[in-house]
Structure 1
Amino acid sequence: MTTGFARLPDVAAFRLANLHVPVCLIEGGDIAADRNGLVRVDIAVANGRVDAIAPVGKVASGAGPVLDLDGGIVLPRLVDCHTHLDKGHIWPRCPNPDGTFPGALNTVGADREANWSAEDVRARMDFSLRTAFAHGTAAIRTHLDSLGKQIGISWPVYAELRSEWAGRIALQATPLFGADAALDPAHMQAVIAAVKAHGDGLLGCVTYMIPELDRALDILFQAAIENGFDLDFHVDETKDPAARSLEHIADAALRHRFAGRILCGHCCSLSLQAPEDEARIIAKVREAGIAVVSLPLCNMYLQDRQRGRTPRWRGITALHELKAAGVPVMIASDNTRDPFYAYGDLDLVEVLREGTRILQLDHSGLDWAKAIARTPAETMGMNAGAIAVGAPADLVLTRARDWTELFSRPQADRTVLVSGRAIDRTLPDYRELDHLMGQAS
């Protein structure tokens, strides 16, 4: 496998020399970082695992060749904690008619009813997984639309793919349905049964300001407690400041003394609250132990869209304020080539690059790389997203020597190592899905 540097040694032991790593992504060790939060190190690899990490020239020489990375940034393989693999790549047969959230919701609903067979869902999910793997993703959490007949279609397909992809990408899935459906005992029984049979101990829904929201949340929290599930919610994906279901989730977590993990995605309306309301909600979120993931690409695409009017708002949550309060924060891919987001490629390097611009993560701390690596891994309960002695040598090698170089180009020539071996980074061709797109081609 050729790389952007040279031919990577295909041997059991070798050393990557003269490279930069974000200090926030190194487990253990005490190496001084530069003004960009990067440390210059050598990494020894043996039998697929990281054998040593030390300042340049300080790794004891051992067996195997040395590859000089000339200062290039090296990341661990990355962690995508909020995706929709079951929706991915349906855009050619059901484009969003106007780019709005209602347009996406209605179009996806019609396509799901007409086309989401086991064959269709499996082909599109596998295509997405091959794409994410080629870009350097180690773990993914996907939301699965869990309504009616789709519960019995998507969950068994997901479980099969999770098994097939074990050792390449670690997968988690959480159900997705509207909060009002939680009030239906038959629906909840079907969802819980699917999660128990095929899932990963996760439950959740889309929350919005229905009159019965607190009752719906009580049902979900109680089910999670009884079954030992963690929770994952879609929250307040709107520019309406009256949407405060995030606060209701925090109140429910405190009311139930919930001890499991909670992840809330989107939380768009939080950034439009009056300062005193924002501060109150964030304090509750922190007290309740809730983590928050922002989806900057998708939300900038959907939010504040009006025909003929330039958008005034980026659609993102108050991520800086949440982080400053001690809330675990992260960013993720969300939708891929479907009516909720027409673009995207499950490439977390792109997500960090564009998220840095959209959320102005630069000039605000040196540890934002954690948002696509260690923090989502911790939230998902996975041992991933960091470079550590003894851990698998799962690495993303780039030629970029600092953040401006990394973010100025798409790093298409990156090299991805899985257990110390370079993978084939050839991306799947969209034409593979043409047979599922009907008249679209």
Structure 2
Amino acid sequence: MAEVLTDPLKGSGLLGNATVPSCLLTGHSEGASGELLRVDMEIEAGKLARIAPAGTLSNARNIVDLDGGMVLPTLVDLHTHLDKGQIWPRKPNPDGSFMGALEAVGDDREANWSADDVRARMEFSLKSAFAHGTSAIRTHLDSVPPQETISWPLFEEIRQEWKGRIDLQAVCLFGIDRLLTDEAYLEPVADRVAAAGGVMGAVTYMVDDLDRHLESVFRVAMDRGLDLDFHVDETLDPSAVTLRHIAETALRLGYEGKIVCGHCCSLSMHEDAEVDRTLDLLAQAEIAVVTLPMCNMYLQDRQAGRTPRRRGVTLLHEMRARGIKVAVASDNTRDPFYAYGDLDLIEVYTQATRILQLDHPIADWIRCITTTPASLMNVEHGSLTPGCAANLILFRARAWNELLSRPAGPRDVIRNGYSIDRALPDYRELDHLMQKGQVRP
């Protein structure tokens, strides 16, 4: 694997002549400009000790001249599905559609998602994310009975095992239509989420008594002091307006926790008046939005034999103009909802830039995989802060155009001041799980 450093970093040293985005420097007053600065970065005993203009720290020992190479903090992935990941070889999407994905995952979950199976696939994905330079991940966990009795205890084990490498959060995931016939489901699953220090969530779409069921989800979260994270309007049907209903519910109930809404695809199909109404409510309710561009482009507007016309992504530019927090994340990885991906947020950010036109100007969109998701997860990642752990990604690329043109170019990952082994796990590690006809014991 191509690397930046000739010799590995071992806890201390000086990274000279580095290029950094000003918006990620703590306390920098011109963050929104997207300005790139040349700096020296001194690392002592695993911490980022000092950041100063390039050339001013040149008397330090163990100098590594980065020759203008870009340095980013390790990254934050706000929306993933680690429990679904890597099942594509045994259960591909039959036609690339959303319903095909839903049915394929349901069948695979019922047949195969034992603790051993979920653990092996989650570990594989975490090893990939770690090697690419991610240090915090929020994952949604399918919580349809009896899967929640397997996945939540397992998640708590894995979170502890990965402590210090990747900070993990989990969100409860179930379709809100379940509450049409099983309202008793909600209290015990909310208790399980609270006991695990998780986040309450649901997949929302237009169902009977939507407002009442949304209120039920909000109230179990409020009773337990939980944040909320919803899958919202993952469709191009313009009649899907659950995003607006979520904002209205939050305001009506006076909810004070953090709310993240993912996907929000149908908003791109709404008339301008409905868009303005919804975005004004989101801003008032301080609801953040995470877009999943690679997965949404894979599933949305797919019809056999017809070239897709619509991108399926939500209105990030309009949201940010209103002060709404926005993020970009990986979503699914090698499963029926998205056949590809490797939990590499640099790939995700590159694709997001191209798909959503996050350029002209580049501005501070890099916050979408750094400081913004970190703030929504309440974790100390994603910024370049003296005194904090030296968790960094080093690139040979010297400017945004070089990085976004060659996202798979040379890269080193530094954790607590030490270079890590960036070897990716081999897909053959999962071969024993991919046998057709495997049945969960």
TM-score with structure 2 length normalisation? 0.96
Paired residue secondary structure (1:239) = coil
Which residue of 2 is the match for residue 21 of structure 1? 20
AA matched with 2:135? A
Paired residue secondary structure (1:111) = helix
Instruction: Report if the CA contact (8 A) 2:301-2:309 is conserved.
Output: yes
Instruction: Report if the CA contact (8 A) 1:182-1:220 is conserved.
Output: no
CA distance in 2, matches of 1:70, 1:60: 13
Match for 2:84 among 77, 84, 87?
A: 87
Instruction: Report if the CA contact (8 A) 2:2-2:411 is conserved.
Output: no
Which residue of 2 is the match for residue 53 of structure 1? 51
Report 1:33-182 matches (<5 A). Answer: 37-59=35-57, 61-62=59-60, 64-182=61-179
Report 1:199-348 matches (<5 A). Answer: 199-348=196-345
CA distance in 2, matches of 1:117, 1:35: 49
Q: 1:282 to 1:55 in 2, by over 3 A?
A: same
Which residue of 1 is the match for residue 414 of structure 2? 417
Paired residue secondary structure (1:407) = helix
Paired residue secondary structure (1:205) = strand
Which residue of 2 is the match for residue 185 of structure 1? 183
CA distance in 1, matches of 2:374, 2:407: 24
Residue 401 (structure 1) aligned with residue 398 (structure 2): yes
Instruction: Report if the CA contact (8 A) 1:77-1:395 is conserved.
Output: yes
Instruction: Report if the CA contact (8 A) 2:176-2:204 is conserved.
Output: yes
CA distance in 2, matches of 1:53, 1:425: 25
CA distance in 2, matches of 1:167, 1:389: 19
Paired residue secondary structure (1:277) = helix
Instruction: Report if the CA contact (8 A) 1:5-1:399 is conserved.
Output: no
AA matched with 2:20? V
**Residue-by-residue CA offset, 1:305-326 (whole Å, 9 max, x unaligned):** 0001100000100111001110
Instruction: Report if the CA contact (8 A) 2:287-2:325 is conserved.
Output: yes
Which residue of 1 is the match for residue 4 of structure 2? 4
AA matched with 1:179? I
AA matched with 1:219? S
Match for 1:351 among 338, 341, 348?
A: 348
AA matched with 1:44? E
AA matched with 1:271? S
**Residue-by-residue CA offset, 1:356-399 (whole Å, 9 max, x unaligned):** 00000011441000000000000111111101000100000000
Which residue of 2 is the match for residue 380 of structure 1? 377
CA distance in 2, matches of 1:116, 1:33: 45
Provide the aligned C-alpha RMSD in A: 1.8
CA distance in 2, matches of 1:409, 1:37: 20
Unaligned runs of 5+ in 1: none
CA distance in 2, matches of 1:98, 1:201: 34
Return the offset for 1:154: 0.4
Instruction: Report if the CA contact (8 A) 1:40-1:55 is conserved.
Output: yes
Instruction: Report if the CA contact (8 A) 2:84-2:332 is conserved.
Output: yes
Instruction: Report if the CA contact (8 A) 2:187-2:220 is conserved.
Output: no
Return the offset for 1:36: 5.6
Return the offset for 1:272: 1.1
CA distance in 1, matches of 2:350, 2:274: 30
CA distance in 2, matches of 1:95, 1:173: 25
Identity %: 56
CA distance in 1, matches of 2:276, 2:37: 35
Instruction: Report if the CA contact (8 A) 2:23-2:31 is conserved.
Output: no
CA distance in 2, matches of 1:309, 1:152: 42
Paired residue secondary structure (1:104) = helix
CA distance in 1, matches of 2:31, 2:295: 33
Residue 194 (structure 1) aligned with residue 187 (structure 2): no
AA matched with 2:19? H
CA distance in 2, matches of 1:172, 1:360: 30
Match for 1:370 among 367, 372, 376?
A: 367
Return the offset for 1:60: 7.0
Unaligned runs of 5+ in 2: none
AA matched with 1:187? Y
AA matched with 1:68? D
CA distance in 1, matches of 2:174, 2:436: 29
**Residue-by-residue CA offset, 1:159-207 (whole Å, 9 max, x unaligned):** 000000000000000010011224523311331132133x224101000
Instruction: Report if the CA contact (8 A) 1:36-1:403 is conserved.
Output: no
CA distance in 2, matches of 1:382, 1:176: 22
CA distance in 2, matches of 1:252, 1:364: 35
AA matched with 1:8? P
CA distance in 1, matches of 2:429, 2:298: 26
Return the offset for 1:5: 3.6
**Residue-by-residue CA offset, 1:87-107 (whole Å, 9 max, x unaligned):** 000000110000000000010
CA distance in 2, matches of 1:158, 1:201: 10
Paired residue secondary structure (1:352) = helix
Paired residue secondary structure (1:378) = helix
Instruction: Report if the CA contact (8 A) 2:171-2:201 is conserved.
Output: yes
Could you tell which deviates more after superposition, 360-369 or 380-389?
A: 360-369
Instruction: Report if the CA contact (8 A) 2:9-2:417 is conserved.
Output: no
